[in-house]
Amino acid sequence: MAVLMPFAVMTGFLVKERKLDLLASRPFLLGYGVMAGTSLPWVFLFLLRIGFEEALLLVQENRVLTRQAPFYLYFGKIWAEFMPWSLLLPFLGAFVWRRWKEVWSSRESFFLIWFLLLFVGLTLMPYRASRYLLPLLPALAMMLGGFGKGKVKWFLIPALLSLVVWHGVEIHWATRNPSRSPGMTLTREIKTLTGEGPLYGYRLDGSTLEELNFYLDRLTPNLKRYEEVRRALGERKALVLVPERLYEKIRKDRNNSVVTVGIIPYKDERLVLISGGRP
């Protein structure tokens, strides 16, 4: 996917410019080699660090986590991901609509093609997550910069209003939530209890699992079946993080020796860290 995205944008722009033959030119072939030489080592190092099986498990987990997202997910997420500048998107849309021929015939159409191709492509894909929008943001930033170059006042006034609204929301959030993010609080508690032992999750939702992997900087397998939990609890120093509602079912199982390591508040629920009692 990371390779197809820029290639699709380049191809779309060259088709519009009627210069598709450049894709097979010497400078482009050199660029392909540079891209392969810089990206493939990262893939190799990633697989070397966590192993091929763990990488495959991560891909499968990502598919499960993003499968249920509705097709209109990105229409709402683009506003949150591009804040505070997303407040200027209606003005940018009106500008492009009014000067469509001028924009389409200019070199700045590259950024418009960049945004439209990736946005439509990501929307049509069956697997969706808000982080996939990140490659679209540079195109929006460049288009907004070009929009502000034309009439400064029409750009500056909405920009200042957007900053006021954005920082007002930040101040309101900071006064009501002086503590850090729930994900940081959760992982800080887990680090004090787990040490370097294996950590598993049991039917954790997507956002919880993403925050665990991000703040712990490690892959946390998300177990789906109770039999997998029983096997994990049999490992030495292994811990399993489960929602409290599922913890009660595990605790009532007489065939399972469960030790409660800690109960951690997280957002609107509580997560329980359990072990099999093996030192």
Mean pLDDT for 203-220 is 83
The reported pLDDT for the residue numbered 147 is 64
Q: Is 65 a residue whose pLDDT tops 70?
A: no
Mean pLDDT, the chain, whole residue set: 78
**DSSP 3-state assignment of 125?**
coil
**DSSP 3-state assignment of 85?**
helix
Taking the C-alpha atoms of residue 118 and residue 108, their distance in angstroms, rounded to an integer, is 16
pLDDT tens digits, residue range 14-28? 888 888 888 888 888
Lookup result for tokens 């049999």: 234
Pick from 77-86, 130-139, 191-200: least confident:
77-86
The reported pLDDT for the residue numbered 64 is 46
**DSSP 3-state assignment of 90?**
helix
Amino acid identity at 248: E
For residue 243, report the phi and psi dihedrals to the nearest 5 degrees. -65, 150
The reported pLDDT for the residue numbered 100 is 85
pTM greater than the 0.75 cutoff: no
Q: Is 63 a residue whose pLDDT tops 80?
A: no
Full set of structural domains in the chain with CATH: 51-176 (no CATH), 182-275 (3.40.190)
The reported pLDDT for the residue numbered 178 is 46
Taking the C-alpha atoms of residue 75 and residue 89, their distance in angstroms, rounded to an integer, is 12
Taking the C-alpha atoms of residue 137 and residue 173, their distance in angstroms, rounded to an integer, is 24
Mean pLDDT for 65-87 is 69
Asked if 274 and 261 touch (Cβ cutoff 8 Å), the reply is yes
Q: Is 246 a residue whose pLDDT tops 60?
A: yes
Q: Which of 30-39, 46-55, 56-65, 178-187 has the highest mean pLDDT?
A: 30-39
